[in-house]
Amino acid sequence: MAIPNKPSGQSWLSRIKTWLVTNPNNPGLETKYNYQAFHSSRYLFFFGGRIRTVKRNPAQTVSILLRNLKPLFPVGVGILIVLPLVLFLVYEAKWLWHHISGSVVILFVYGWIHCFVGLLRASYMDPGVLPRNIHITDNAERVGLPAEYNSSVTMPGYKRAHGDMTGSYKPQSEPEVQIKYCPTCKIWRPPRASHCSYCNVCIMNMDHHCRWLNTCVGQRNKRFFLSFLFGTVTSCIWIIVLSFVHIFAYRREHPDISLAHSLRDVGASLFLVIYCLLGVIFPGLLLFYHFMLGITGITTREYYQIPRGMDSFEFLRNIWASTFNTHSYWKNLMVQWCQPRGTSTVRMRDRYQQGDMRFESVEFGAII
Amino acid sequence: MDESPDCVSGNNDSGIDKSAAAPDADIQKTLFFNYHEYALSLYQDVTAYGLGPLIEHQRRIIATHFPNPYAAPNTADAMDTRIVRIPRSYEVEADRYPQFSTLLPGDEKGAYTDGEGTKEFKIVGCVEGQYYGYTSVSPLSRYLTADEFLQLVEDINKFLKQSFDPLSWKTFLWNIFDTATFFVFSHLPTKLLSPDVNATLRLERYVEEQNEKFRQKHVPVKIIRPRKGGYLSLDFQIPKPTP
């Protein structure tokens, strides 16, 4: 049950290896810090628990190659992002600096850094993990949970005096929130928190589990995710504009050179244009989608829970009648996008206290 | 209102008040109750002569105190202390920021009562060494009055609002500043300047001060640091109630 703090008889090389990549499920692992004891989640830790990603899931029914590569998806995305930066700096930057202005290059690099930092922090840092077993009941492993904990509970919500989005005054009759007990984490979850089966933890204000980042997007990393999307879209658009400027200026100066020959000089610009046109589609759509979710005040999970048979007005009225909606596009956006990150509630770098129930997994029959 | 002693208040598993059949549109049909509590029908009666046999009863007792998950199992703390859990309330701003209920367990509209308005924790039954009563009133009522509790939780709620409100000006300005500088300042020790981290640490300090006051007044109540519990509920550690 409680993991003993076994002193490690390893060589210094294997100690370094364990510090670099820590799998909390490894038997015989020394449990000095919280991250080494966090075996109930599906996290894999690096650099002494400072960054994390989700382990590959052997039970998933996708190809073996894809399963094993999942933790490396953010690295793949990172490579896709670094490539245009390198090409830009090597081929475009000099010409742009001398012919237009140095500031366009600097602006591009600024946007690109936002994108890259956003990607790294969104995929490798705490998305808002909630501690386990805070609301455990007596002898849960022996007698199971009380019957009252098995169904979701309806609580009164915030009653707003304003009307619906059509402007007509109609006081909200039944503002309610649904509270559900997570039987895996043994906590009563706040309404917008959710359990992620990939990460096997409950996440505060969970938006969705992102495959490309190989982690959940929740309260603590949503702004990095959005910064990543914004940075990608603006960098791509900026590259497209600047590369076209370069190509057109070149064509104007050398109207007699054929296309095939001019590829030698502005081939990189053309490649960047095509690359970024392709690259802006998915993040651009995703950004637009999150913007629409933001102004209507719902998360991705709530969007997928709304029944599909509804017509669009009924759909929007339902969203507007939700107790979470502030009835203002701007305020909704602020609430969705500017949630304070707060502090980490399950701190990985804290010293592990023997028997800390927040990291144990209580199943019917045993405490694992 | 149903006058039988088993369940006088409107509380049942789904939280819907049965007595709200009155055709008054302004009455909220959903009542707030402490969703941590649960009812037990298999228990031993606590009498002056000791414990009775373990049998199914008609009238259920309500579990209002819970095991302490913050203490390592099989230690003195784990066996001698219990936790009273104060739920989050969603009526203030619908979970835009966490807020705890300012009512002592037993005072909520949807709480189990015995029809006489008793606000004391009275032991009537025993389940596996833990003692409970018929109502939602918890042993915390032995140590804190409703006013003291209200003051305490209101102060904590203020810190939580400062910490987690996305619509405050301070948060907005900090977000702009932080975003423009690649979130560097929320990673370095300068994160102590950010409103959310700042208010969180002040809350922890406030809870420590309150615990110190309890120690000085010899009140055996300890507030568990909210950050450790993930702001899911406000936990009060009390000594295990005995008859």
d(CA A116, CA A295) in angstroms, rounded, equals: 26
Domain range spanning residue B88? Answer: 29-239
Instruction: Identify the pLDDT of residue B170.
Output: 87
Count of CB pairs separated by less than 8 Å, A with B = 174
Please judge whether B28 and A131 are an interchain contact, meaning their C-beta atoms are less than 8 angstroms apart. Answer: no
DSSP state of B27: S
| Contact between A134 and B233 using a beta-carbon 8 Å cutoff | yes
Q: How close, in Å, is residue A142 to chain B by CA atoms?
A: 12
B6 occurs within a structural domain: no
Q: How many domains does chain B have?
A: 1
CB B237 within 8 A of CB B222: yes
Does any domain span residue B5? Answer: no
Q: Which of A134, A189, A343 sits opposite B69 (nearest CB)?
A: A134
CB contact under 8 A, A340 and B164: yes
Q: Across the interface, do A156 and B228 touch by the CB < 8 Å criterion?
A: no
B94/chain A closest Cα distance in angstroms: 5
Nearest to A121 among B36, B183, B228 (CB): B183
SS3 of chain A = CCCCCCCCCCCHHHHHHHHHEECCCCCCCCCCEHHHHCCCCCEEEECCCCEEEECCCCCCCCCHHHHHHHHHHHHHHHHHHHHHHHHHHHHHHHHHHHHCCHHHHHHHHHHHHHHHHHHHHHHHCCCCECCCCCCCCCCHHHHCCCHHHCCCEEEECCCCCCCCCCCCCCCCCCCEEEEEEECCCCEEECCCCEEECCCCEEECCCCEEECCCCEEECCCCHHHHHHHHHHHHHHHHHHHHHHHHHHHHHHHHCCCCCHHHHHHHHHHHHHHHHHHHHHHHHHHHHHHHHHHHHHHCCCHHHHHHCCCCCCHHHHHHHHHHCCCCCCCHHHHHHHHHCCCCCCCCCCCCCECCCCCHHHCCEECCEEC
Q: Mind listing the pLDDT tens digit for each residue in B190-237? A: 888 888 888 999 999 999 999 999 999 999 999 999 999 999 999 999
Provide the residue-wise pLDDT of chain A in tens; the chain has 368 residues.
445 555 556 688 888 988 898 988 887 788 889 999 898 889 999 998 888 999 877 666 667 777 777 788 888 899 999 999 999 999 888 888 888 888 999 999 999 999 999 999 999 989 999 999 999 998 888 888 898 998 889 888 877 655 454 544 444 556 788 899 999 999 999 989 999 988 999 999 999 999 889 899 999 999 999 999 999 999 999 999 999 999 888 888 888 877 777 777 788 899 999 999 999 999 999 999 999 999 988 888 888 877 777 776 777 777 777 778 888 888 889 888 988 888 888 888 889 888 888 888 888 776 66
Cβ–Cβ gap B127/A338 under 8 Å: no
B2 within a domain of the structure (yes/no): no
CB A179 within 8 A of CB A188: yes
Judge whether B165 is closer than 8 Å to chain A, CB to CB. Answer: yes
Range of lowest pLDDT (B24-38, B103-117, B214-228): B24-38
Residue B22 lies in a domain: no
Complex ipTM, two decimals? 0.85
Residue B18 placed within a domain: no
The residue assigned the tokens 């140095």 is: A102
Chain A residue nearest residue B230, CA to CA: A345
- Confidence at B15, pLDDT banded by 50, 70, 90: very low
Predicted local confidence at residue B56, as pLDDT = 93
- pLDDT tens digits, one per residue of B33-91: 999 999 999 999 998 888 889 999 999 999 999 999 998 888 888 899 999 999 999 88
Asked if residues A247 and A235 have their Cβ atoms less than 8 Å apart, the reply is no
* CA dihedral of residues B192, B194, B199, B201 (deg, nearest 10): -20
Whether residue A223 and residue B179 make contact (CB cut-off 8 A), yes or no, is yes
- Taking contacts as CB-CB distances below 8 angstroms, the residues of chain A near B36 are 135, 188
pLDDT for residue A5: 55
Among the partner residues B32, B200, B232, nearest to A135 by beta-carbon distance: B232
Q: Determine whether the interchain pair A192/B71 forms a contact, defined as Cβ–Cβ distance below 8 Å.
A: no
Decide if pLDDT at B28 tops 90: no
Q: Nearest Cβ partner of B130 from A135, A138, A356? A: A138
Residue A346, min C-alpha distance to chain B (Å): 7
> Would you state the pLDDT for residue A290?
94
Q: Tens digit of pLDDT for each residue in B160-170?
A: 998 898 888 88
B144 — pLDDT class (breaks 50, 70, 90):
very high
Q: What is the DSSP letter of B225?
A: P
Residue A210: active-site member: yes
More confident residue, A196 or B117: A196
And the tokens for A287? Answer: 């950004």
Give the minimum alpha-carbon distance from A57 to chain B in angstroms, rounded to a whole number. Answer: 27
Distance CA A160, CA B51 (A): 51
Q: Which residue in A115, A185, A202, A210 is the catalytic one?
A: A210
B-chain residues near A174 (CB < 8 A): 28-30
Q: Phi/psi at A235 (nearest 5 deg)?
A: -65, -45
Question: One-letter amino acid identity for B128?
Answer: E
Q: Residue B3: inside a domain, yes or no?
A: no
Q: Does B200 touch chain A (CB under 8 A)?
A: yes
Interchain CB contact of B25 with A (< 8 Å): yes
CB contact under 8 A, B28 and A156: yes
Contact A341 B29 (CB under 8 A): no
- Specify if B1 maps to a domain: no
Nearest to B73 among A1, A147, A188 (CB): A1
Residue B160 belongs to some domain of the structure? yes
Q: Is the CB of B229 inside 8 Å of chain A's CB atoms?
A: yes
Q: How far is CA B62 from CA B43, B136, B161, in A?
A: 11, 6, 32
Question: Is B95's Cβ below 8 Å from some Cβ in A?
Answer: yes
- Percentage of chain B modeled with pLDDT above 70: 88
> What is the value of pTM for the model shown?
0.87
